[in-house]
Amino acid sequence: MICFPNAKINLGLQVARRRGDGFHNLRSVFYPVPLYDVLEFKKADKFSLRVWGLPSSAIEHNIVTKVWEVLSARFDLSPVEVYLLKNIPMGSGLGGGSADAMFFMREVLSFFQIEVNEKALIKMALELGSDCPFFLFNKPSYVIGRGNVVEPLEINLSGYYLLLVFPDEPVSTADAFGRIVPKPPEYNLKKLVLKKDFNAWRKQLVNDFESVLPPHLLHIKADLYEAGALYVSLTGSGSAFYGIFNRKPELFAYKNGKVAMVAL
C-alpha cells in the first residue's frame, strides 16, 4: 500500500484559552496543500519503520510508530514494515507528521478491512495530536477546540500559487505553546476567511504564534509581500511562512533556509 500525505496551511490561527487538561482551545481554517510525503507499507515478520529524505523524529518517537502502537493495542494486526520519504519539513507548521499519521492510520484500517466509526477515529486521532483529526477529512475546514471539531468550509484557492519559506530553525510546538499568551478572539475568523478578501486578510487575519516567533524571522513576511504576495502568514506554530500569489511567483534566494512553490 502506498499513499501520499499532504501538508496544510493555517488561514489565521487564534489561541483562545488554556484548557484545564493542559491543551489550548484554538480557532483556525486549515487548508490542504499539494506538498507531499510518500508512505508505503507491506506485511512483514515484525513492525519496522525506515525514513528517508528530510530529518525526522527518531524511529521510536516517530508519530508513525505511535500510530502502530495505538492500532495494535486495539486490533489484532499482522506486523508491517513501513517506508517513509519525508519532503515536508519537521517543525515547520505544515502538519507533515500529523498527515503521515492519519494517512497511515486510514490505510492500515482499510488494508486489514477494519471498520471504525467517525467518533472513534477522531478519538484515536486526538491521542496522536491536535492537527490529526483534520487530516482524517483532509479538506478545507474550520477547526476549533483542541482540534476535535472539524467543520468543512466552502473556500477555494484553486488557481493561486503558494511560495513557502522554510527557515533553518524548526520551531518546537510545545515551546511555542509555552510562550504564547491566550486571548479572547478579536474578530470572527471563519467569516473573515469566507469573504476571500485578501486586502481584509492582510489587515486583520493573524496567526497568534507570530507574536512569539523569534523576531529575526519576521523579515520573511516583508520579503514575501515585496515579492508580490496578496497575503502572507506564518503557518501553525511555525517556522514556515507562506505567501499567496495570483500568478506564478519567481523563487528568490533565502540564505538561511529553503524556498518552494506549489500551485493550489
- The answer to whether 8 is a known catalytic residue is yes
| Residue of 131, 208, 221, 223 with catalytic role | 131
Phi, psi of 146 (to 5 degrees): -85, 10
Among 8, 86, 208, 221, the active-site one is 8
H or E, element range at 240:
none
Side-chain-side CA neighbours of residue 224 (13 Å): 27
Largest CA distance in the chain: 56
Cross-strand pairs, 27:
14, 144
Q: Are strands 80-86 and 149-152 parallel, antiparallel or unpaired?
A: unpaired
Q: Is 1 helix (H, G, I), strand (E, B) or coil?
A: coil
- Amino acid identity of 229? A
For 86, other C-beta atoms within 10 Å of its C-beta total 20
Dist. CA 261–CA 99, nearest whole Å: 20
Q: Considering Cα of 20, then 24, then 29, then 35, what sign does the dihedral take?
A: negative
Helix (H) or strand (E) holding 220: helix 219-226
Residues recognised as catalytic? 8, 131
